[in-house]
């Protein structure tokens, strides 16, 4: 019998993209491969076209695309309970590691599950860029990519060389991360990207390509400074930009209520409909002949229409007059319109974020963080007001999962916990941060930045922590959580988080028996040798297996079923992982009697020894039970082996 094995691959994007294409154009996918000539014909391209087309390109773009599609091999996320907080109840996740690798590992579990992504990536100022990936080109390779020289070394242009390599390195870094980020967004999801002038123009073109021009929402201008720079040579650069892209073209932001504008609403005549004001226009925004008609006032005055006509037809205007929404002014020379506060559904948010009360500024963020961490550690944190404002731009955000994969000082977690405390929300965060070495950072830092890095190292030493930026961020989140708990003692606030770190695999996916390095008799003497890396922890083995499941958050519960065995675990109350070294008929019977029955069972191949009949019976018995429980629905999961 052919038994299903747990798939070693986490991030098989290419096959999924082919399936998506096949669902749109079935005729272009043949035997699992794309017929590109047929695809061109489906798109109406029956003639040869020129190579030139409008697109953004740079040295290394093809490699960046390839990198986005490459699988993560031999890597996993290990759980660190001792660094976590409220493990049994929290739904928040903090991950240390290179964010491209992490995004690939999260893709399976969180595909289409993230409602809000906020990132504040390196701005490529020449001193904050630390992501290298695999893009290492010498001068000749880069010149070839840029078209500066040909294959034989001949010079193709005589202009002075651009700084393409400088921008290319940044684009190569951000491109694959945004490609995967798009996959993580839900259909009504949206991404917010903070950026400054160094790469804003390139980022806009890049996002147009990845998310689609139709999904561009806004380029919001955030006034990040409350004090102009007197030393600026030309202009004082007092703002950052926030590029906003949605997953779906029909995404709509949350309407905003302006308290200042609400003050215009009065009720001097005790209108039963409540406060109102009469400043809204009466004219049609566009010319329409049927809206150009005269109005006769009760005193006989004829009121002529505006240039484009009235806003409504005669019938609609009469109805509005009957309800009192439209009324004549005192001398009956014109009409007015009452707009009621109760009918106001807010206004579209502005692209200018200049109100410090709503979105904060950098200096305010510095002072805010000093209250939480008086050690004076971070130089340029984002204000929590900005993140809170961004989150509240999204409709129905109170249950949202929010991802920040350039999480830095942890401002996003801070803002989410504050919002949950203020409005009773149940928002969850996933933060990803590279564990930057503070000692190495100190060596390279300018004199202006050395003080805060030294302070960070001092805090790490005081807390007996590794000298890593991620350790400082976790400390901030812990402190903020305690502070919020004190300020809102009656609120049920999730101030915990599970800590994961990227690591080498715990599982020997390629069996040593298949490789000819072990024989079956060795399994009895060394049962772990066949399946797992020496020293691998059961909990991390389970998490590594769960990374290969669909729609299964890392924040779910993991319990050991001690009444069944020493190494049998239940994840998310639905996935049973049996790591016992020996499977018996008695154990299989106990597993089949579980109520509720798990939707998937995972066993070790080696645990069945050479008892093929028991393995076959186990597979058939549990598979039948799962299918029975699934009823008329097609079961998504059955029984698998490692």
Q: Hey, CA dihedral for 607, 610, 616, 617, is it positive or negative?
A: negative
Average pLDDT over residues 26-51: 73
- Which of 103-112, 141-150, 586-595 is least confident? 141-150
What average pLDDT does the segment 287-292 reach? 90
Using DSSP bridges, classify how beta strands 639-641 and 600-603 pair: parallel, antiparallel or unpaired. parallel
Instruction: Tokens for 164, please give them.
Output: 């393409």
Per-residue confidence (pLDDT) for residue 204, from 0 to 100: 96
Q: What is the pLDDT of residue 279?
A: 75
pLDDT value at 6 more than 70: yes
pLDDT above 90 (res 383): yes
CA torsion, points 175, 177, 180, 181, in degrees to nearest 10? -110
pLDDT at 159: 29
- Dist. CA 196–CA 352, nearest whole Å: 15
Strand order across the 575-578 sheet: 558-560, 568-571, 575-578, 600-603, 639-641
Are 400 and 430 in contact, with CB atoms under 8 Å apart? no
pLDDT at position 278, please? 85
Residue 206 pLDDT > 60, yes or no? yes
Q: Residue 160's pLDDT is what?
A: 32
**Most confident residue range from 53-67, 217-231, 276-290, 488-502:** 488-502
* Average pLDDT value for the chain: 86
In this predicted structure, the answer to whether residue 303 has a pLDDT above a threshold of 70 is yes
CA gyration radius, the chain:
31
**pLDDT recorded at residue 445:** 79
Q: What is the pLDDT of residue 132?
A: 45
Q: Where does the pLDDT of residue 45 fall: very low under 50, low under 70, confident under 90, or very high at 90 and above? A: confident
Of the candidates 191, 201, 241, the one whose C-alpha atom is nearest the C-alpha of residue 220 is 241
The answer to whether residues 239 and 229 touch, using CB atoms and an 8 Å cutoff, is: no
Q: Global pTM?
A: 0.81
- Phi, psi (deg, nearest 5) at residue 114: -95, 125
**pLDDT recorded at residue 235:** 87
Which DSSP helix (H) or strand (E) runs through 337?
A: strand 335-337
By three-state DSSP, how is residue 483 classified?
helix
Confidence of residue 610 (pLDDT cuts 50, 70, 90): confident
What crossing angle do the helices spanning 61-69 and 13-24 adopt, rounded to 10°? 90
CB burial readout 88-112, b (16+ within 10 A) else e: eebbbbbbbbbbbbbbbbbbbbbbe
Q: State the average pLDDT over residues 369-387.
A: 89
Domain ranges of the chain: 1-53, 259-343, 509-641
Average pLDDT over residues 382-390: 95
Q: What is the pLDDT of residue 525?
A: 66
565-576 burial by CB neighbour count: b if 16+ within 10 A, else e? bebbbbbeeebb
Report the share of the chain in percent with pLDDT over 90: 56
3-state secondary structure string, 114-183? EEEEEECCCCCCCCCCCCCCCCCCCHHHHHHHHCCECCCCCECCCCCCCCHHHHHHHHHHHHHHHHHHHH
Range from 27-31, 425-429, 577-581 carrying the lowest mean pLDDT: 27-31
Residue 14: pLDDT over 90:
no
Could you report the per-residue pLDDT of 132-169, keeping only the tens digit for each?
A: 444 334 444 444 444 444 434 444 333 233 444 778 88
Question: 380 falls in which pLDDT band (50, 70, 90)?
Answer: confident
Q: For 382-394, what is the mean pLDDT?
A: 96
Residue 29 pLDDT grade (very low, low, confident, very high; cuts 50, 70, 90): confident
Tens digits of per-residue pLDDT, 447-462?
877 888 999 999 999 9
Statement: residue 306 has pLDDT above 60: yes
Give the mean pLDDT of 177-202: 95
What is the predicted pLDDT for the residue at 588? 94
Distance CA 640, CA 599 (A): 11
């Amino acid at each position: 019998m052919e038994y299903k094995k747990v798939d070693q691959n986490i991030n098989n994007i290419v096959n999924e993209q082919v399936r998506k294409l096949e669902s749109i154009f079935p005729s272009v996918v043949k035997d699992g491969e794309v017929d590109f000539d047929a695809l061109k014909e489906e798109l109406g391209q029956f003639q040869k076209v020129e190579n030139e087309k409008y697109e953004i390109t740079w040295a290394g773009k093809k490699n960046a695309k390839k990198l986005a599609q490459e699988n993560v091999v031999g890597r996993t996320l290990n759980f660190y309970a001792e660094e976590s907080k409220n493990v049994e109840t929290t739904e928040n996740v903090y991950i240390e590691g290179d964010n491209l690798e992490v995004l690939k590992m999260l893709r399976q579990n969180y595909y289409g599950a993230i409602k809000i992504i906020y990132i504040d990536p390196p701005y490529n100022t020449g001193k904050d860029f630390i992501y290298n990936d695999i893009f290492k080109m010498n001068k000749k390779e880069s010149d070839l990519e840029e078209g500066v020289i040909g294959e034989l070394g001949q010079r193709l242009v005589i202009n002075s060389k651009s700084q393409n390599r400088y921008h290319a390195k940044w684009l190569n870094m951000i491109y694959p991360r945004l490609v995967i980020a798009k996959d993580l967004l839900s259909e009504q999801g949206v991404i917010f990207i903070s950026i400054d002038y160094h790469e804003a123009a390139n980022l806009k073109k890049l996002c147009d390509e990845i998310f689609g021009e139709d999904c561009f929402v806004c380029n919001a201008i955030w006034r990040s400074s409350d004090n102009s720079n007197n030393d600026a040579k030309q202009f004082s650069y007092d703002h950052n930009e926030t590029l906003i892209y949605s997953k779906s073209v029909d995404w709509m932001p949350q309407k905003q209520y302006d308290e200042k504008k609400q003050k215009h609403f009065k009720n001097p005549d005790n209108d039963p409909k409540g406060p109102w004001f009469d400043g809204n226009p009466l004219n049609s925004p566009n010319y329409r002949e049927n809206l150009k008609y005269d109005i006769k006032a009760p005193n006989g005055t004829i009121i002529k229409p505006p240039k484009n006509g009235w806003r409504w037809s005669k019938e609609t205007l009469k109805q509005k007059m009957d309800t009192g929404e439209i009324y004549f002014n005192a001398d009956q020379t014109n009409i007015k319109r009452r707009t009621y506060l109760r009918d106001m559904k807010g206004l579209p948010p502005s692209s200018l974020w200049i109100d410090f009360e709503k979105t904060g500024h950098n200096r305010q963020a510095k002072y805010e963080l000093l209250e939480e961490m008086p050690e004076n550690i971070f130089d340029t944190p984002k204000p929590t007001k900005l993140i809170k404002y961004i989150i509240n731009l999204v409709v129905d955000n109170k249950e949202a999962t929010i991802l920040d994969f350039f999480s830095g000082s942890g401002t996003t977690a801070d803002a989410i916990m504050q919002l949950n405390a203020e409005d009773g929300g149940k928002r969850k965060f996933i933060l990803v941060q590279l564990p930057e070495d503070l000692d190495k950072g100190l060596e390279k830092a300018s004199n202006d930045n050395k003080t805060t890095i030294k302070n960070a190292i001092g805090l790490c030493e005081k807390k007996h922590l590794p000298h890593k930026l991620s350790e400082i961020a976790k400390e901030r989140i812990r402190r903020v959580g305690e502070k919020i708990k004190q300020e809102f003692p009656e609120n049920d606030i999730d101030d915990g988080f599970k800590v994961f770190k990227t690591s080498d695999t715990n599982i020997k996916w390629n069996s040593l028996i298949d490789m000819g390095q072990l024989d079956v008799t060795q399994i009895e003497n060394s049962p772990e040798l066949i399946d797992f890396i020496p020293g691998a922890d059961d909990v991390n083995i389970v998490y590594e297996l769960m990374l290969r499941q669909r729609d299964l958050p890392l924040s779910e519960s993991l319990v050991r079923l001690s009444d069944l065995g020493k190494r049998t675990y239940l994840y998310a109350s639905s996935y049973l992982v049996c790591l016992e070294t020996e499977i018996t008929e008695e154990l299989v019977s106990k597993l089949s009697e579980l109520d509720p029955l798990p939707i998937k069972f995972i066993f070790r191949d080696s645990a069945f020894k050479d008892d093929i009949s028991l393995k076959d019976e186990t597979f058939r018995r549990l598979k039948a039970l799962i299918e029975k429980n699934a009823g008329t629905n097609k079961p998504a999961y059955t029984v698998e082996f490692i």
